[in-house]
């Protein structure tokens, strides 16, 4: 287990809720880590620093990278959205995008998995099967997304203080959030043509949880029942992606602390349109949970190993 | 001051935050109220009970009704959405819809004002001027609205418990919230034709505050600058409706406890579309504040009398 | 699995966070339950109704009762605090108080365990060993306790609404909370004489978590180091009760969702006094977690079976 | 209006909830401020920097200082608790401690008022009259205080992030919070002898509000009724300090956003002891509200000028 500022500390001094895990090793700096006995790594560094670090790791390690550094196949798109050149374009070509339920076979054989962002996970899981089946129009896909504040990380910023966030909501990154190219990449792949979406994230006064409320125009002659049936077929054998009973509203409360994604489809008042709601815990299915799910696949472990946590309610 | 279950009690025993207002009269039941010295009333009863009560009030009283009972001009539409016949259709014809900035002159001369709902206020204030100016298409208006939980009232329901609501969000009334006909009535009036909207309300873990994120298609050749300029012209002399500087994101935090509505317009990634954000305190501009603003007009008082409270932040 | 109002429903319709647990049986009313294959039951009914129900259960069942109905050995004390006569005084004599770490051997052999209340658990765990070792005075024990609102249950009451509780705190049951006799019973047992405490619970704007801040006078010549050493000895082999490093402050965040109790001791500014802080998750170690821990003992299972959940942070 | 990092900005760019106050001057740095037309200043700087700044201000200005820099009469005590020498001991001698209701006459004639801390305000208001009247013992005064997180200011620290604070509570500064000497100074003055208290502050998951739960031993023969009567007499003519009806529990909700302090007294289970509860909004009566109240006195304005805000509930 490695750290930067916290190297030399015990895990429980950084996270007191792990005080009972006394057998955890002391944190070491990445440069001091001994990889000789290591089979796989999770890399959880800020974007921009990750490419160099991963380039320097021993060959043969299996890597799940939770940063954005290997998510965009097109390195010039990376440069455009992240404001810096890609430093490991060769590795980028080997990287597999880790949206587990959509790209499971590719992930099994990958050495480097780019773990998806939280918004992209919650949006692509319902939309990719519907686009592949030609059930929705590619234009005018409108995503109004709501996230708990843990998505902003643990950095000390005034904007993330309790007093700035509790008891209020706000949009942010209107029209230009960095998850946009990642989402459009996945949807465009499914559509075999360029998809441009409307995407507006909102910050909620809660720690965990993410909901994407997605407004779509259905293809000619298609009904919400058709959408429902397609999602049912696509996800009926999946443990972690669940289509609810018709009419039931997915709630972030009901997936908190777990790796589940709950989805449902609703008719819109405007004829020909539908509303899709998907919820996840942004820190689990939207980050560490999906990362573990991916590593399980890469290592040949049962896919749900270590993911048995039920949602914590209330 | 009247009450039902709480008749006979002092105001501060029901609301201890008013304990310092010792000159408030004891609560009496409506039937025991002496209207002889009363010029005007605020009526804050559940929908369905209000029509009978107001029918029975002395003639000549000025009335601001905060329920939904007189908001819909079409009494058969009332029956459809509220599940009961309208009991005062004659009064309905006299009622003026109290969206202050839009219908100020009518309100000045009204005897009965139907105070708007919170969602309808936050949605109509930005959209009515844009529709009237033919700047946006009438179809495909998509409203993703977020409300604090005080909108649900003070009734004892499991769904409104702290433990059910904190640290989570959820959509509700998907496609069939009772504020829909009221919103469509106002937008249709502005459009001079029937407007059908997509409207999805969401419950936020906060007491006060409401944001409507509105996704619109602009009329051919229109730009977001045109929308901005129109709103600037429409609201430049208004005290309570404020168009923010370009790029500034309206936040519910910044209107909490006040009668202000903050609005702004943003370009969308999808060409030809725009995103409009408006925020209010649902209990003030969305309820009691606008009610007072309306009564001030009806009585010939300065419109901002009693509305000088600045937002409470943090 | 039994229910009253919810009999006939599936578990996931009552608790949507359990929707993935499709093999759970449909809820049946208690009177329809088939106990022929049942070895043990958890009884989670309101106090007052529990005594009759348990009297009617088949002999031989192992029972952990989470209500207050069998916690007080003295049935007249039960009557005094709960306002009704005890309906199963014979069973009361067999009941063992389920404070696991203190009464482990008795619990192993019990047929009926009265699971402790949340406040009593958080208070007795640190105090009982210190009283037994004669390290603190029995008089002037002052407990200022803080609880998340889930302790109030899921009943629909105005006082428990989100809007009444968020962003504010309040004391309740000052001087006369029903957990008092249970706490004094346990402390008096440890002291071999009647102990009367000062106990003031406070309601916090959070769902889970409980902290007891306990102000004690040390016995003559005793230091806070002596208290610390005693707790270290008492709990060094315990999995779920943890004495923190000296100076570290127990935080409810760090035990949320887990069965852990964190404790520490601090010197007071007033010479001869000490401050003891203990934290638990009121729904786990303060209720269902300790209940499971007790049943594990009664059934001869490993004591931590089903209790492996780590705290959920953030 | 002056600023440091924010000099040159408009007020509403720093605090968007003030966007409607367009006539506010642009922020200037303190060194650029023109004091020629200024009668009085509020000084809201971090402790340690304030003494130098105030020394440099023009003579004749009336000053209310909200920092801790002039609260402790004994400059060596200041040095002990704040870790640096006092830089304006001459000014210290002129400074008047601004606990309005207790020191009103002194404040009226003061040039420099040291505005009290939030904890000291909530604790001294109930205790000073009781100590002066010899109704409570000076030893074993135990204060368990709970504060909203805005008391920590707007600095960017990990400990103050939303994710670290929501849905959990914690003690901090156990036995050594910097408000201790200020509280003990005030109580010792009232007692005419050195008073040492037990003081444990706790951080609550809420922005505003502070409760002090105070556990006291009554003097021989004194009852809680005697305490109640004394407080009634002391505060019967005060606008901002309110003794509630017997039995009513002061709640932080009921003073939020206002300058009120609510107090009540309760009997303890331990004979001879009493529990006193006082609540304030830490940002108003605990900071800016009391500062304004003091300046009103110093300027000869009505004491409640600008303080008419009622509590905001819910």
CATH number of the CATH domain containing C238: 3.30.360.10
Residue D44 shares a structural domain with residue D168: no
Q: Is the pLDDT of residue B23 over 90?
A: no
Is D31 domain-assigned?
yes
Q: How far is A193 from chain D (nearest CA, A)?
A: 40
Range of the domain at D39: 2-116+286-299
Contact C274, A52 (CB under 8 A): no
Does B165 reach chain C within 8 Å, measured CB to CB? yes
CB contact under 8 A, A162 and D162: yes
What gap in Å lies between CA B170 and CA B271, rounded to an integer? 30
SS3 of D42-90: EECCCCCCHHHHHHCCCCCCEEEECCCCCCCCCHHHHHHHHCCCCCCHH
Is C71 domain-assigned?
yes
What gap in Å lies between CA B122 and CA B119, rounded to an integer? 5
Q: Residue D13 belongs to a domain with what CATH number? A: 3.40.50.720
Residue B273 shares a structural domain with residue B164: yes
CB contact under 8 A, B16 and D242: no
Tokens matching residue B281: 């305190």
- Exposed e or buried b for every residue in B198-218, given b needs 16+ CB within 10 A? bbbbbbbbbbbbbbbbbbbbb
Chain C positions touching D204 (Cβ under 8 A) are: 169, 204-205
Chain B positions touching D239 (Cβ under 8 A) are: 20
Chain D positions touching C251 (Cβ under 8 A) are: 168-170
Residue D104 shares a structural domain with residue D143: no
Of the residues B43, B44, B118, B261, only one is catalytic, namely B118
User: Considering only CA atoms, which of A252, A229, A227 is closest in space to residue A314?
Assistant: A252
CB contact under 8 A, A163 and D157: no
Residue C197 shares a structural domain with residue C122: yes
Does D160 reach chain C within 8 Å, measured CB to CB? no
* A259-263, B14-18, B224-228, D168-172: segment of lowest average pLDDT: B14-18
What gap in Å lies between CA C221 and CA B171, rounded to an integer? 62
Q: How far is C109 from chain A (nearest CA, A)?
A: 29
Residue B104 shares a structural domain with residue B15: yes
Does A139 reach chain B within 8 Å, measured CB to CB? yes
CB contact under 8 A, D206 and A160: no
Provide CB contacts within 8 A for D39, sequence distance 6+.
Answer: D61, D62, D299
**What pLDDT, on a 0 to 100 scale, did the predictor assign at position C23?**
86
Tokens matching residue D191: 């007692």
Tokens matching residue C175: 């001087």
User: Considering only CA atoms, which of D265, D282, D294 is closest in space to residue D108?
Assistant: D294
- Say which of B161, B165, B205 has its CB closest to residue C154: B161
**What pLDDT, on a 0 to 100 scale, did the predictor assign at position B79?**
96
Average pLDDT, integer, range B202-226: 98
CB contact under 8 A, A314 and C254: no
Q: Which of B148, B162, B174, B209 to mutate to test the interface with A (most CBs of A within 10 A)?
A: B174
Cis peptide preceding B8, ω within 30 of 0: no
Does B253 reach chain A within 8 Å, measured CB to CB? yes
Residue D64 shares a structural domain with residue D135: no
Chains that touch B (3 or more CB pairs under 8 A): A, C, D
Residue D97 shares a structural domain with residue D167: no
Does A24 reach chain C within 8 Å, measured CB to CB? no
- pLDDT tens for D267-284 read 999 999 999 999 999 999
**What pLDDT, on a 0 to 100 scale, did the predictor assign at position A256?**
97
Is D212 domain-assigned?
yes
Does A14 reach chain C within 8 Å, measured CB to CB? no
Within chain A, which residues score under 50 in pLDDT? none
DSSP string across C227-247: HHHHHHHHHTT-SSEEEPPTT
Residue A35 shares a structural domain with residue A135: no
CB contact under 8 A, C19 and A314: no
Is B305 domain-assigned?
no
Is C251 domain-assigned?
yes
Name the residue with tokens 């008047």.
D96
Residue D47 shares a structural domain with residue D177: no
Tokens matching residue D128: 């000073």
Does D15 reach chain B within 8 Å, measured CB to CB? yes
Does B244 reach chain D within 8 Å, measured CB to CB? yes
Which residues of A does the annotation mark as catalytic?
A: 118
**What pLDDT, on a 0 to 100 scale, did the predictor assign at position A175?**
79
What gap in Å lies between CA D165 and CA D151, rounded to an integer? 13
Tokens matching residue D23: 């006539």
What gap in Å lies between CA C118 and CA C242, rounded to an integer? 17
Measured in degrees and rounded to the nearest 5, phi and psi for residue D154 equal -110, 20
Provide CB contacts within 8 A for B85, sequence distance 6+.
Answer: B75, B79
Task: Work out how many domains chain B is built from and give that number.
Answer: 2
Measured in degrees and rounded to the nearest 5, phi and psi for residue D266 equal -130, 145
Indicate the length of chain D as a whole number.
Answer: 314
CB contact under 8 A, D140 and C140: yes
Q: Which residue of A has its CA nearest to D152?
A: A163
Is D271 domain-assigned?
yes
What gap in Å lies between CA D237 and CA B71, rounded to an integer? 47
pLDDT band of B163, cuts 50, 70, 90? very high
Chain D positions touching B17 (Cβ under 8 A) are: 253-256, 258, 310-313
Tokens matching residue A112: 């480097």
Please, is D306 exposed, middle or buried when counting C-beta atoms within 10 Å of its C-beta (0-12, 13-18, 19+)? middle
Q: Which of A162, A166, A256, A283 to mutate to test the interface with D (most CBs of D within 10 A)?
A: A162
Residue B79 shares a structural domain with residue B135: no
| Cα distances (Å, whole numbers) of residue C115 to C100, C176, C189, C196, D148 | 9, 21, 17, 22, 34
- Say which of B148, B169, B174 has its CB closest to residue A266: B174
CB contact under 8 A, A163 and D154: yes
Residue C60 shares a structural domain with residue C123: no
Is B307 domain-assigned?
no
Residue B295 shares a structural domain with residue B255: no
Chain B positions touching D312 (Cβ under 8 A) are: 17, 257, 312
Q: How far is A273 from chain B (nearest CA, A)?
A: 9
Q: Which residue of B has its CA nearest to C162?
A: B162
Does C205 reach chain A within 8 Å, measured CB to CB? no
Is A310 domain-assigned?
no
Within chain D, which residues score under 70 in pLDDT? none
Contact D285, D121 (CB under 8 A): yes
Chain D positions touching C267 (Cβ under 8 A) are: 175
Chain C positions touching B158 (Cβ under 8 A) are: 154-156
Q: What are residue B273's DSSP bridge partners? A: B217
Within chain C, which residues score under 70 in pLDDT? none
What gap in Å lies between CA B164 and CA B147, rounded to an integer? 15
């Amino acid at each position: 287990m490695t750290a930067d500022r916290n190297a030399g500390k015990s895990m429980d001094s950084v996270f007191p809720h792990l005080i009972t895990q006394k057998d955890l090793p002391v944190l070491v700096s990445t440069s001091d880590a001994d990889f000789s006995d290591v089979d796989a790594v999770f890399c959880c560094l800020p974007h921009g620093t990750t490419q160099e670090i991963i380039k320097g790791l021993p060959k043969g390690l299996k890597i799940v990278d939770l940063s954005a550094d290997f998510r965009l196949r097109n390195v010039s798109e990376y440069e455009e959205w992240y404001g810096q050149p890609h430093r490991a374009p060769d590795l980028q070509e080997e990287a597999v995008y880790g949206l587990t339920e959509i790209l499971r076979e590719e992930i099994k054989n990958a050495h480097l998995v780019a773990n998806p962002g939280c918004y992209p996970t919650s949006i692509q899981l319902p939309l990719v099967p519907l686009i592949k089946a030609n059930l929705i129009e590619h234009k005018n896909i409108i995503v109004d997304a709501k996230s708990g504040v843990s998505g902003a990380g643990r950095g000390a910023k005034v904007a993330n203080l309790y007093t700035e966030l509790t008891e209020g909501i706000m949009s942010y990154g209107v029209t230009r959030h960095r998850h946009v190219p990642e989402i459009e990449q996945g949807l465009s792949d499914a559509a075999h043509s360029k998809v441009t979406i409307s995407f507006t994230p909102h910050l909620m006064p809660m720690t965990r949880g993410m909901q994407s409320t997605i407004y779509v125009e259905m293809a000619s002659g298609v009904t919400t029942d058709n959408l429902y049936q397609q999602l049912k077929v696509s996800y009926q054998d999946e443990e972690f992606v669940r289509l609810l009973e018709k009419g039931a509203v997915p709630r972030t409360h009901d997936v908190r602390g777990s790796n589940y994604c709950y989805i449902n489809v609703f008719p819109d008042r405007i004829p020909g349109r539908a509303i899709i709601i998907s919820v996840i815990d942004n820190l689990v299915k939207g980050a560490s949970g999906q990362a573990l799910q991916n590593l399980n696949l890469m290592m040949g472990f049962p896919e749900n190993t270590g993911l048995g946590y039920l949602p914590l309610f209330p």
